[in-house]
Chains A and B, each alone.
Chain A
């Protein structure tokens, strides 16, 4: 038996013992590490998975991670997928902050921050954008004044996902007003600190997933500085690369969630004639959408395989652009297929799925803005991948 087969046996046996069978093929009611406090079987599953470290399979075991090789992690992923076992532990900590800490954190910081991320105990939010610092993120002005053994932070962040429920924030803050790029530091702060105020922003979808966060004389201990003072911009950029790689690796999964099966909507709301969708023009557009999504998923898989051999590539930047295009196009098609049933806002005149589709469609408009706009990502690809000048 090869080592990998032996590991497969180990994973199977562990899942048999620890995965509650009643949760098979069910999505968690919320994400531990992103606002949810799970209960019952879900809590038990969270605890087992977190203690085993398999919520972060490839992170080093010394920090509570699974310590698995990429091949073993792939085997674990396949075993979990085959029994419909979905990890309820996620959020920014797992997706981007943890990998960035592994790159840049001190031993002490890794020991302090990584274990609770892996267990899903701490919900992290990300302090990046500001009113005057969107696409031009390095123009950020929230100022952390150096007071010797601590910083005093004043200013504000905007578009902060999940800030209302968050326990902690990591982010980029100005520590030198005379240096745009080399005047930024990467800091963490406790959201319960005095002087932190969170105000939700209501979106065009009626939902409030984003917030404004205001800082008034917030005290941040020096030990919360990640990397060197004034050299946080590179850490901040690395974190965004992890975000894009996460999107590339998701293989077309719609992280916005909520949309239901496109073929079923076509059958229910347009109908078939002789086994073929009655609207031929719509049928071709659905085909194009599904083929784009398929190509996106295959590309995510290929980039993953190639990265395992050749290392990561900046080409992964196109995945963020493609992810937004894929989501937005699918949501547009769904709403269009629903016809006037896709224009409901609330109340009993519309089904839950219809109402959810409208909200998801509107929410998806942010996909080409958040995490770097499509235009900024195209600039980055033009510059870093194609070697064009002027970007």
Chain B
């Protein structure tokens, strides 16, 4: 764990205590069992907004606390430990980032105070197929007489069923595969022609598919500059990847801690199973993976806060390393617990389902290996 500032330590303590006492996995289980489409409980969400975490990135003048990504990461790691489900990440980090990076004053004034208060949910709609592929955007936005008409679809939009507005990446020129010609739009959820279909997913969080049929928005809906949206999108995605990697790190660390505890208490053949080298060595290797993932996540968040040139490469590294560790850890959590790990009554199933969904979101390990190595000219 990096050396934290006083402010970060306070938030960490707060997030740790609240997640442990007020939002443990039993609460997530209750939400899952309730069958809600939202993928989170209103009470949880209101608690979170009440503590001000939704406004971590948002300037004080707009109702937030104007802190940094490293601080947001500290909170997400703690909520990730207990699988807390809420729009905190999708709106407070991803949606807010898009507006903070490229929104004009009117857009910021209109949306950021609501995001900070938790009364507005703004989320990013980017992918159109089964895999994360931002440069493959095909959805069209045709310009005519000062307005744009959007046609196409977006899939697996995080908190899509609850969102008040979407940051939508669409193509104003060029063809799929090109990075030029992409424009970001801010589209309110109640805009005519926009259809929202909530999805029932394995991880029980809130996702939705979106369809756009002649959805008309005016020029004021453009975030940044028309045709030049890809660099903004890329920057937003990198912030999303680093933030999600922090949450995933927390999820995996909790899986590690619970599994280690089991190795110390479960007895077979008259001894604790952690005394068997085959399990002890795996635990030690997972510990190494955990420390490595942490270094990458913290470096990525720090790079964002420092405005470093290394943001893309470090965010791909962080998402990939956190993904690899969470993947292996969620598998070993089941394996090392044996039969109990397979039961729905035990929590390991929640961890592995959350793991795979988070891995796939904003690029899996395979995607980020390709993105990372492309920086080295091969």
Chain A residues in the interface with B (C-beta under 8 A) = 263, 266-267, 272, 275-277, 283-284, 286-288, 290-292, 294-296, 298-299, 301-302, 305-306, 309-310, 315, 318, 321-322, 375, 378-379, 381-382, 385-391
Contacts and interface: CB of A to CB of B under 8 A. Distances in A.
Contacts of A388: 260, 263-264, 272, 274-275, 280, 283
B295 A299 contact: yes
Interface in B221-273: 260, 263-264, 271-272
A378 B283 CA distance: 9
Given A382-B280, A390-B275, A287 B288 contact: no
**Consensus secondary structure, chain B interface:** helix
Contacts of A276: 374, 378
A287 B373 CA distance: 5
Contact of A382 (B2, B284, B293): B284
B145 interface: no
Interface string B290-308: 0111111011000000000
A381 B287 contact: yes
Given A283-B378, A295-B317, A389 B372 contact: no
B373 A286 contact: yes
Given A290-B372, A291-B320, A375 B274 contact: no
21 contacts: A263-B377, A284-B366, A286-B373, A287-B373, A290-B373, A291-B369, A295-B296, A298-B296, A305-B2, A315-B291, A322-B292, A379-B281, A381-B288, A382-B281, A382-B283, A385-B284, A385-B287, A386-B280, A387-B264, A388-B263, A390-B272
A284 B370 contact: yes
Contacts, number: 122
**Consensus secondary structure, chain A interface:** helix
A33 to B, nearest CB: 31
Contacts of B283: 382, 386, 388
A132 B11 CA distance: 54
B282 to A, nearest CB: 9
Q: How large is the interface on B (under 10, 10 to 19, 20 to 34, 35 or more residues)?
A: 35 or more
Contacts of A263: 376-378
A43 B288 CA distance: 41
Contacts of A391: 275, 277, 280
A324 to B, nearest CB: 12
A267 B376 CA distance: 11
Closest 4 CB pairs of A and B: A390-B275, A287-B373, A382-B280, A298-B295
A286 B292 CA distance: 18
Given A287-B369, A388-B274, A321 B288 contact: yes
B1 interface: yes
